């Protein structure tokens, strides 16, 4: 019998819960058999539903062998106690804790006191169940439950809650802080007070769970070979051998970018400044924008040189020593109308 999923008194639409009603149907369908193997992978749930399933198993005439394939937490451990032999994977998980109630309505202090008394009775019934299996004292069990005790498979055997280890390994995917998937069965862990990290992601702990999330899954053979090849790449030839298509793409893109750069430089120069263009294309490669700045600087330099050359030519030819011509009225450079006005006497 496969008890995978949350334990509940209510049947779900998707039939993904373990319920007493469904369990009774499957148990009746087995008929008179000498042995029943119950495989558990559950984060727990309804204590009353778990107690009902426990009682049905204990009352059966067949030998009950319980195998904990992944998790047996909370109420699921109650069902496990029905086994004449309880086996658990070394890296499985076994967890016991105090029962709790979920309150959705408005209550008085007296109501809460009554609920607290009910929880004490429920806890004692669970303690009695554990004590029958382990032989441990009631007070010691109660303390472990209050602590919310988590055990790996070997620890569960050591503490007497399980009888022996199985060779199977529980495959666990840690999806987020409140949900994990164990052997393809989702388990809600948001209600638990403490989930030791050593149970979830400690490869060095022989009892720790294996994290089979997407990032930690075993790599296919091809990916391993590719990773090994990457570690050996130390030269251009090795890179070409490992990734010929990628190298060809990079080379083509680089060639296209270089052609575009050279064309932009030639368009900028317009056939002039051959030395600058040649230097920018080959000797000291740079962008068209950088060439434009060099051309402007060269033009400014040439303009200043032109003025210097013109002044030098004027000095050499003697043009600067030629005197200006006199005006027709004898006054050098004087306007005749201004001369006439100056001659008038206004006194």
The pLDDT tens digits of the residues spanning 130-148 come to 999 999 999 999 999 999 9
Last residue of some domain: 202, 218, 234? 218
Same domain? 154 vs 252: no
Q: What is the pLDDT of residue 114?
A: 95
Q: How far apart are the first and last CA of the chain?
A: 142
Residue 247 pLDDT > 80? no
Last residue of some domain: 185, 218, 251? 218
Nearest to 67 by CA among 10, 116, 2: 2
Same domain? 142 vs 50: yes
The residue count of the chain comes to 347
Which of 175-189, 210-224, 246-260 ranks highest by mean pLDDT? 246-260
Last residue of some domain: 189, 218, 247? 218
Q: What is the pLDDT of residue 117?
A: 96
Per the structure, how many domains does the chain have? 2
Same domain? 180 vs 252: no
The domain containing residue 214 runs over which residues? 2-218
The DSSP code for 284 is: S
Same domain? 207 vs 263: no
Q: What is the pLDDT of residue 273?
A: 72
- Does residue 346 fall inside a structural domain? no
Q: What is the pLDDT of residue 322?
A: 55
Q: How confident is the model at residue 123 (pLDDT cuts 50, 70, 90)?
A: very high
Same domain? 118 vs 158: yes
Same domain? 210 vs 264: no
Same domain? 179 vs 288: no
Same domain? 10 vs 107: yes
Q: Dihedral of the CA atoms 210, 213, 219, 223 (nearest 10)?
A: -160
- Does residue 291 fall inside a structural domain? yes
Cα–Cα distance, 258 to 16 (Å, whole number) = 63
- Does residue 320 fall inside a structural domain? no
Same domain? 205 vs 246: no
Q: Where are the alpha helices (DSSP H) in the chain?
A: 20-30, 47-58, 76-80, 109-134, 138-147, 153-158, 197-201, 221-231, 236-242, 244-269, 274-278, 288-317, 336-343
Same domain? 16 vs 98: yes
More confident residue, 19 or 10: 19
The region that residue 126 occupies, defined by phi over 0 for left and psi between -120 and 50 for alpha, beta otherwise, is alpha
Tell if the pTM clears 0.85, that is, is over it.
no
Q: How confident is the model at residue 113 (pLDDT cuts 50, 70, 90)?
A: very high
Same domain? 166 vs 85: yes
Query: Which domain CATH number covers 27?
Result: 3.90.226.10
- Average pLDDT, whole number, for the chain? 77
Residue 207 pLDDT > 80? no
Averaged pLDDT, 108-118 = 95
Same domain? 54 vs 149: yes
Nearest to 86 by CA among 73, 71, 102, 67: 67
- Does residue 168 fall inside a structural domain? yes
- Does residue 326 fall inside a structural domain? no
């Amino acid at each position: 019998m496969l008890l995978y999923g949350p334990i509940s008194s209510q049947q779900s639409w998707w039939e993904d819960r373990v319920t007493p009603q469904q369990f009774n149907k499957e148990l009746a369908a087995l008929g008179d058999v000498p042995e029943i193997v119950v495989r558990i992978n559950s984060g727990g749930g309804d204590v009353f539903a778990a107690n009902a399933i426990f009682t049905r198993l204990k009352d059966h005439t067949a030998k009950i062998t319980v195998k904990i394939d992944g998790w047996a937490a909370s109420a699921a451990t109650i069902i496990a106690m029905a086994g004449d032999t309880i086996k658990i994977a070394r890296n499985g998980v076994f967890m016991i804790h105090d029962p709790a109630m979920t309150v959705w309505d408005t209550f008085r202090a007296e109501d809460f006191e009554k609920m607290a008394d009910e929880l004490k009775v429920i806890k004692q019934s669970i303690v009695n169940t554990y004590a029958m299996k382990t032989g441990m004292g009631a007070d010691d069990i109660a303390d472990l439950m209050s602590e919310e005790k988590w055990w790996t498979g070997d620890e569960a055997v050591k503490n007497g809650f399980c009888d022996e280890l199985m060779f199977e390994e529980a495959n666990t995917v840690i999806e987020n802080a409140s949900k994990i998937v164990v052997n393809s069965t989702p388990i809600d862990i948001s209600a638990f007070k403490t989930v030791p990290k050593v149970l979830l992601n400690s490869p060095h702990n022989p009892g720790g769970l294996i994290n089979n999330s997407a990032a930690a899954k075993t790599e296919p053979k091809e990916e391993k070979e590719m990773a090994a090849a990457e570690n050996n790449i130390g030269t251009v030839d090795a890179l070409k051998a490992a990734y010929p298509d990628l190298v060809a793409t990079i080379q083509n893109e680089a060639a296209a970018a270089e052609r575009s750069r050279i064309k932009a430089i030639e368009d900028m120069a317009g056939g002039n400044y051959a030395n600058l263009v040649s230097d920018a294309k080959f000797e000291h490669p740079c962008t068209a924008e950088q060439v434009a700045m060099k051309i402007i600087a060269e033009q400014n330099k040439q303009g200043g040189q032109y003025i210097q050359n013109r002044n030098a030519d004027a000095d050499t030819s003697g043009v600067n020593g030629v005197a200006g011509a006199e005006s027709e009225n004898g006054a050098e450079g004087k306007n005749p109308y201004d001369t006439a006005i100056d001659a008038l006497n206004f006194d």
